[in-house]
Structure 1
Amino acid sequence: MDRYQYAILLVGCLVLTLPLELILGARVWRQPRRLLGAVVPVVLIFGTWDAWSISRGHWTFSERLTTGVTLPFDLPVEEVLFFVAIPICGLLTFGAVRNVLGEKR
């Protein structure tokens, strides 16, 4: 079970925030440009940063806590999924709060 901890954490974040789209009208999925604008820079910037840090030996990931599936530059797949999931969770939360408070653009 340890090797899936990172993945379980990501799934938990998504499971807790995805209902905000339906229940509180976060409207994230209806705005694909905003979604891509939040996810793509994070993946590119932090993915590059992680790859560089790993190559220099400054950063490592526990093989015990990850699935062992790696992408180029020894980047665990969970790390890239983190860079995708967390901005989505943030947008869902922000959209839901904005909708509940009644703020308009």
Structure 2
Amino acid sequence: MRHLAYAGMLAFCLLGTVPLDRVFRLGVLRQVRRLALTLAVAAGPFLVWDLWATHAGHWWFDDAQTLPLRVLGVPWEEVGFFVVIPIAAILTHAAVAEVRGRRTARRARR
């Protein structure tokens, strides 16, 4: 089970944030082009850097805590990290902005 640790944490992040899109009617996940551009800008440089650093031997991934599938020598979970975490951050930010906007609107009506 230890090999599922990284993938499990990514799933946990998604399970905690993806429902925010629907609950608060954010529409973040429907803006596919905008989301893809954001992920490319956010994930692209870090993925390249991560690939370089692992190939240069600056760090490595514990085979006991990752699944065997690799992308250019990097666990697929690491690639997934650069997609999942920005999505979780965007959804969280949008949900907080929505809640704060509602609160501000209520105060303005008083």
Identity level (%): 39
The structure that has the greater radius of gyration is 2
User: In the alignment, is residue 29 of structure 1 matched against residue 25 of structure 2?
Assistant: no
Task: Give the alignment's TM-score, normalised by structure 1.
Answer: 0.90
| Residue-pair matches, total | 102
Write the letter of the residue equivalent to 2:97.
R
Deviation at 1:40, TM superposition (A): 1.0
The root-mean-square deviation of aligned C-alpha atoms, in Å, is 1.3
2:7 alignment partner in structure 1: 7
* Post-superposition CA distance 1:12-53 (Å, at most 9, x none): 000000110111222211322331132112331111101110
Q: Which runs of 4 or more aligned residues in structure 1 lie more than 4 Å from their structure 2 counterparts after TM superposition?
A: none
Structure 1 residue runs of 5 or longer lacking an equivalent are: none
Structure 2 residue runs of 5 or longer lacking an equivalent are: 103-110
Q: Distance in 2 between matches of 1:43 and 1:76?
A: 15
Task: Give the alignment's TM-score, normalised by structure 2.
Answer: 0.86
Q: Distance in 2 between matches of 1:10 and 1:34?
A: 22
**Higher mean C-alpha deviation, range 53-62 or range 35-44:** 35-44
User: In the alignment, is residue 76 of structure 1 matched against residue 79 of structure 2?
Assistant: no
